Structure 1
């Protein structure tokens, strides 16, 4: 097939923040699991404890003769997850050591690294937002009525692995990127701040928005899971749509579009 022209698609601020966010989210995920292991359970409401029955997720362990069994409880339903969740390597911990930073139990170090990259993510998100307002990039991420009308066809094309490479994002990309940048990342930052006692003193009303600290922690964890899902789909789409073209775009800004012109994104 004939190659289309190269177009300048990704601005410098988009490319820089993309890689800063990728590194930040990697460390936030693994240190977040280290912090979660200090109490591997999620609740709804303002409080938790033995006298409450508000757990939605518990990664626990149970002694079974000479062996330790991992037991994951989801909304009261128990599942044996030995070797992955609850217990692995003969030790009781929510997530295994290979999935956490540090790999051994060190809550203090995990918190220091987590907070550093949390602030890095927050400040670069703010810088990207201001820059994108000034250069008009934000408008490129907002689906238009014509985009939404094209949504069924775009979903069908992706299901058939028919990817169009154009100067602009397609509607699925707009919905995904807007959802991450305008919903998930701000939600993760706000729920993270809600778990800070010093921020609670400055803005106690924020806890009321979520319905309590425990609910904020659960939402924080759920957002993390959605971001991991987005990352997996994002990488899959890059591999299917042409990894060299996609990587050139996010590294240099230049993207090769289809010969027929600027109809859709990949």
Structure 2
């Protein structure tokens, strides 16, 4: 979910209480944002359905049942009941009720990598999960290409996402980190542009999304036949599967932080700007630097 604002040259007008309104998000930004939200949500749910068919991840040219997984969501029986476990390398965590063993529709715990409430469909059906996943994967790719083309043509990436040299100074970065830690969000003129943390986060998400698309293609035998270099790039199909899952997990983490920041910064103003494009600038604090 890319929040690609274009705040650098907003058209502003004062409201009756002298607060300034800026046109923060262009139409193409708003449309691709909401399409991304739909795609990423359904890709996550259908992807977990696919992973449930074999809830284990490997590294390298492996993947047979006898190989030792790099990450595994499994269950074992203890005292006549299912106990869920998550294994990462040599570490094992008890995750009963969520990962490895979760509540079954008829009651009780059943062996299942991810619970039914987060998979699409909720029941175990690999074929249907793959259909959902592939459909929204292509919609996601098309939507991403529209966003990239619009960003390049409008100069959004160069103007709004490329960090200036002054922003890369350690002192500047630490100041932004300290401001965010104290929940001091930009106000006045500073709210019209991205800070260095936002730029870094959005650039990282674009890279992660690109990695997800490429690793997803690497898991296709047809694509591997046409572009075998993808297998070398990611170290094998099973490594690509693991990177695909880890990239998705990092994107989920970004979304969680993104939603938290929206709530803390003012959800009505933030969400309204992504629907209508118009954003009410928070008043500058007396202590803010010009």
> Does the pair score TM above 0.5?
yes
Q: Secondary structure at the match of 2:192?
A: coil
How many angstroms does 1:195 deviate by? 0.3
Give the match for residue 71 of structure 2.
57
Structure 1 position 259, deviation (Å)? 4.1
3-state secondary structure, aligned to 1:92 = strand
User: Deviation of residue 79 (structure 1)?
Assistant: 2.1
Residue range with higher mean Cα deviation, 138-147 or 9-18: 138-147
Which residues of structure 1 form unaligned runs of 5+? none
Aligned to 1:232: 256
Partner of 2:147: 128
**1:180 corresponds to which of 205, 218, 222:** 205
Match of 1:171 in 2: 196
TM-score (norm 2): 0.86
* Distance across 1 between alignment mates of 2:263 and 2:282: 17
Q: Which residue of 2 aligns with 1:114?
A: 133
**Further displaced range: 193-202 or 144-153:** 144-153
Query: In the alignment, which residue of structure 2 is the partner of 1:19?
Result: 34
Alignment of 1:207-218 (within 5 A): 207-218=231-242
> 2-side partners of 1:44 and 1:3: how far apart?
58
Local SS of the residue matching 1:59: strand
Map residues 190-209 of structure 1 onto 2, 5 A cutoff: 190-209=214-233
Aligned equivalents of 2:136, 2:167: Cα separation in 1:
35
Matches of 1:123 and 1:12, distance apart in 2: 17
- What is aligned with 1:95? 114
Q: Are 2:50 and 1:39 equivalent residues in the alignment?
A: no
Identify the residue that residue 78 of structure 1 maps to in structure 2.
92
> What is the aligned residue count?
259
In 2, the alpha carbon distance for the partners of 1:147 and 1:161 equals 19
Moved more, 20-29 or 74-83: 74-83
Are 1:223 and 2:237 an aligned pair?
no
2:177 to 145, 155, 168: 155
| Aligned pair partner of 2:165 in 145, 168, 172 | 145
Residue 255 of structure 1 aligns to a residue whose secondary structure is: strand
Q: Secondary structure at the match of 2:124?
A: coil
Take 1:62 and 1:50, find their aligned partners in 2: how far apart are those partners?
Answer: 16
Runs of 5+ consecutive residues of structure 2 not aligned to the other structure: 1-16, 104-108
TM-score by length of 1: 0.93
Identify which of 59, 63, 82 aligns with 1:68. Answer: 82
Please list the CA deviations of residues 217-239 of structure 1 after superposition, one character each: whole Å capped at 9, or x if unmatched.
Answer: 00000001000000000000001
Taking a change above 3 Å as real, the CA distance of residues 258 and 84 of structure 1, as seen in their structure-2 partners, is closer
Q: Which one scores higher on RCO, CA 8 angstroms, separation ≥ 6? A: 1
Task: Tell me the distance in 2 between the aligned counterparts of 1:50 and 1:241.
Answer: 48
1:43-72 Cα deviation digits (max 9, x unpaired) = 10011224433x211111111231111122
Q: CA deviation at 1:244?
A: 1.3
